[in-house]
Amino acid sequence: MTRGKIAKMTPSSPKKSVIQVEIVVPALRIQQSKGKTIYQFTVDGKQLPRFAAISRIRRDTNREVAGYQRPEALSHIASIRKYIESKSPMMPNSLVIAFKKPVKFTPVSGLKTEDAVILGHLHIPALRSVDEEGDVIGWIVDGQQRSAAIRTARICKFPVPITAFVATTESEQREQFILVNSVKPLTKSLIYELLPATDALLPTGLARRRLSATVLDALNCDPKSPFFGKIQTPTNPEGTIKDNTVLRMLDHSILDGVLYNFRDPKTGDGDVKRMCSVVNNFFGAVRDLFPEDWERKPRHSRLVHGVGIVSMGFLMDEIAGSSRKGSIPSRSYFMKEVSLIAPYCHWSSGQWKLPDIDRRKKNVSKQTTYKYVTWNDLQNTSKDLGLLTSHILNLYKNEKAARR
């Protein structure tokens, strides 16, 4: 059922009448908790574009995260569409929609229901047709692939169940999006990029990684950072360093390295600005010492590869660990310390002289034996990462001791 109202003409109004349309549907209003109301109703899926759209994840002009939905998976949509066009399709799961502002609900008079559940009619502001362009009141939080399949399916109509709630800020919408999708095969990169802009009470694993994701976001968006625009995320696909690589490095340092000094273990929060200063000073020194290696892509330089970023993160913790607790080593100090191992590094050419752990186990004399490993033979595996990290840390300690 739709209702149209003609707006009154005023001297400042355009000559053409503006029609305000609303879709009115039977609905249940459920008071789930204090201040949290949800609505359950059914609507023709073909009419969804009149009042609900997809909020694509992107970066705004201030390089802050806007939106939250991943790109459409065309193959997945095609398979759903084929099913919908079959003889007897059924889609029992509700789509989840967030209304950007409160919607009108009129209870059915004379009907006794539980206090928490009321039957009535929901009045949804809508565009006049699915082809009309304009701002809509709702964002699809869960069900974008299903809604896209229904929209393009060769059918006249397809009623779908809807669960809706009012979320006036993107932060609230992201909260529900993350909680709804955290148990589904949603890309980790998308969840991690949304975490810094979400204040929700999250599962322990996601809550622990939110601080690392916040630091990563700050590094990637700071023009003064050596990581500026270099970390690959859903909104920065041109980045060359994988987001998970940087997150692994940050996770370890925040849990058991120098960045732990700037974290509150009780709340899990941290001083992001000071954490970024440490990381920027260290990797700024690394970039200046290995400028060509830093600017190459991971397949051409292991410095910006997972094995390089993570192993150098351990070196950052080792160097900064000798400084006063809570202090931030300068870039020049990091430069002096990292330069001790620079002559022995082979990020994009040559061979590393690495301890041969396998042979050493068989060597009765327990003397260290070595093997030469071509730079691009190092892979992002636990074995290679452990081997390179141990080698770099031992090099640093030995050179440091030799120059005292």
195-253 residue pLDDT tens: 777 766 666 677 778 899 999 999 999 999 999 999 998 888 899 999 999 999 999 99
Tell me the two tokens of residue 272: 């992001």
Confidence at 189, pLDDT banded by 50, 70, 90: confident
Q: Which residue has the tokens 């006794």?
A: 112
Query: Both tokens of residue 85?
Result: 């066009």
Confidence of residue 309 (pLDDT cuts 50, 70, 90): very high
Q: What's the average model confidence in pLDDT over 97-117?
A: 83
d(C-alpha 139, C-alpha 132), whole Å: 17
Least confident of 38-47, 58-67, 362-371: 58-67
Q: How far apart are CA 207 and CA 302, in angstroms?
A: 30
- What mean pLDDT do residues 148-164 have? 93
pLDDT of 109 above 70 = yes
Both tokens assigned to 185: 């095969």
How far is the C-alpha of 174 from the C-alpha of 187, rounded, in Å? 15
- Above 60 in pLDDT, residue 164? yes
- Beta strand pairing call for 351-355 and 370-374: antiparallel
With 90 as the cut, is the pLDDT of residue 292 above it?
A: yes
The most confident of 78-87, 200-209, 225-234, 366-375, by mean pLDDT: 225-234
Residue 20: the pLDDT is 62
Token pair, residue 212, equals 């690392």
State the pLDDT at residue 203: 62
pLDDT in tens, 336-353: 999 999 999 999 999 998
Number of helices (H), then strands (E), in the chain: 12, 15
More confident residue, 111 or 29: 29
Q: Is the pLDDT of residue 295 over 90?
A: yes
In whole angstroms, what is the distance from residue 143 CA to residue 244 CA? 26
Answer yes or no: is pLDDT of 71 > 60.
Answer: no
Using DSSP's 3-state secondary structure scheme, residue 282 falls into helix
Supply the mean pLDDT for the chain: 83
pTM listed for this prediction: 0.59
